[in-house]
Structure 1
């Protein structure tokens, strides 16, 4: 006996896409209002906005980390921090709950997300490289940490792994500076 699974996929009209481009700001309340008006889920609206290039999911920058830390010390609310950084309240709450506002202690260590961004590959692929031993990494209490030297070695040895991906050029050049030396 087989069970048929029906996927509900919304076919977007040009009128709906134009409305989304005109109204969507990333603010959760605006997103909920748009979702209710279109009869769709909030997740569907957010994903379509990302796919259309209206918003970009970006990593929190060092300046934003400093701003968040300063505003938290001042006792500001999540809404005030959200307005100051231009990020959604949900993103700020998630960031605060994870405790990611502490400064990075060692700039020569990268986590999986950093390497994923720098090399232009998905995080799961970086984790697979670490698990297979191709990329040396140490696991701390939260995630993997990869040394800058080990990352350089990996890039030099396994360039064929990066053929179809789009690396972030500036960061890659900074990491590879001095590759000509021997280890």
Structure 2
């Protein structure tokens, strides 16, 4: 499944809602004009005031400017990349956690196993390259380690997040470059 992201949009301002309610005819006019755009996000039939839209001077120019922004299609996750990257993640995380032996005691292997499983699931289902790294898998790691009553949950989740933040996008770029040549 390909995901869409409108580039360059800012959150809607609270001053826009009174404007939309005080001048409903201009607001409806902007909605009708935008409904004809072929780049309309999947699953939406008409815009609503709660959408993330850049705010301009008038409703018509606001909606028009917002939807003329380029749409970026994120690629689907790559299972082969997920498998190789998970192995690399396990090795690097284990190296970092072994240095903190007093925090993890004898649970390093179990901590790495849980973190790697969650990371692999994220890579196989969600990660589609730079710009798609989410925080949720790392909070899941933290919660999973706490549920299993393993010590050093916060340290492990932070180390995993920092590694992913520093290495994952670069590895994705290298992987795609090698696959294309």
Question: Same fold judged by TM-score > 0.5?
Answer: no
Select the structure with the greater relative contact order (CA < 8 A; seq sep ≥ 6): 2
Answer 1 or 2: which has greater helix percent.
2
TM-score (norm 2): 0.26
| TM-score in terms of structure 1 length | 0.26
Question: For the pair shown, which has the larger CA radius of gyration, 1 or 2?
Answer: 2
